[in-house]
Amino acid sequence: APALSADELTLQLKWVTQAQFAGYYVALHEGLYEAEDLDVTINPGGPDIAPPQVIAGGAADVIVEWMPAALAARERGVPLVNIAQPFARSGMMLTCRADSGVSSPEDFPGETLGVWFFGNEYPFLSWMSQLGIPTDGGDEGVTVVRQGFNVDPLIQGQAACVSTMNYNEYWQVIDAGFSPDDLVVFNYTDQGVATLEDGLYVLEESLEDPEMVDKLTRFVRASMAGWTWAQENPEEAAMIVLEYDQTGAQTEAHQVRMMGEVNNLTAGSTGVLDVAAAETTVDSLLFGGDDPVITERPTGAWTSVVTDGL
């Protein structure tokens, strides 16, 4: 039977099961992986799961990761290589309360800003270093706090701005009774510091084995088919995601909305990495400050050997 001989592959997600990863769940649920003779296991992530560590430990074959974190890991000796980039655009924003008086980046000094860490802080840090704003408190700089799991700091007025994804946390703020007029939103793309999110990464050694490359090609093909399916059937895709959520904390309305926003980010992507966008990411990470996120331009951090076979 094909199920027996199917090639096994483990995918480590960056975060919990949600519409952000709909393409993979759709591909799994709709048998797209099976059709490619793949037996894929999807391991959801969590706040303390660092996908690069998981892959370095050998517990996953492919990971979903943001490019800044992946490049930083590469400098730390985990040879991650981007093999495909389903997310064409960045969804990261800094969302501020209008009543805090912040209306442009010049207003940041002296304010308290909520930032995600755990490898998600790099876009923010490189933006701040481009603006020349120190992040260690004081009147000149901003006070950075490590934002927890949600947007409460903004709602409760503990921070002037918090990090949000346009497909998720932003809507939590809206749900909490803020209208878009009450908020000032800084989109990283608009600020010229866009970084690539949610790419697929493997270890260099995987690419040395042609059989593995073939396997990965089939995987990316099926995954992209999943994303396309999700584009076409957003509501059903959201329901599939809900089905795979083991915590029961997700709501249908929220996931459907997230699916819509995520589809905007994946729209137009074939999975092939836009090298120009990758170079922009590298530039913004290398640029400025005494404490750049990466210290030298990476070589071999992405490859098209997998997407070439699509």
Ligand X SMILES: Cc1ncc(C[n+]2csc(CCO)c2C)c(N)n1
Residue 251 or 295 with smaller CB distance to ligand X: 251
Residue 180 interface partner, choices ligand X, another protein, none, CB cut-off 5-8 Å depending on type:
none
Min dist CB 48 to ligand X, Å, is 8
Min dist CB 149 to another protein, Å, is 4
For residue 210, the one-letter residue type is P
Min dist CB 307 to another protein, Å, is 26
Enumerate residues 6+ apart whose C-beta is below 8 A from 287: 126, 129, 130
Rounded CA gap, 255 and 307, in Å?
29
Please, which residues bridge with residue 201 across strands? Answer: 63, 82
Residue 105 DSSP symbol:
G
| Residues of the shown chain interacting with ligand X in the complex, contacts defined by CB under 6 A | 14-15, 20, 47, 116, 118, 120, 149, 165, 168
Please, which residues bridge with residue 94 across strands? Answer: 163, 186
Residue 38 or 87 with smaller CB distance to ligand X: 87
Rounded CA gap, 310 and 305, in Å?
10
At residue 282's C-alpha, the angle toward residues 19 and 149, to 5°, is 35
User: Which two three-digit tokens encode residue 272?
Assistant: 């092939």
Min dist CB 117 to ligand X, Å, is 6
Min dist CB 21 to another protein, Å, is 10
Rounded CA gap, 67 and 271, in Å?
14
Residue 20 or 129 with smaller CB distance to ligand X: 20
Residue 20 interface partner, choices ligand X, another protein, none, CB cut-off 5-8 Å depending on type:
ligand X
Residue 73 interface partner, choices another protein, ligand X, none, CB cut-off 5-8 Å depending on type:
another protein
| Residues of the shown chain interacting with another protein in the complex, contacts defined by CB under 8 A | 13, 15-17, 43-50, 52-54, 56-59, 69, 72-73, 76-78, 115, 117-121, 135-136, 143-153, 155-159, 172, 175-179, 182, 245-250, 254
Rounded CA gap, 213 and 49, in Å?
26
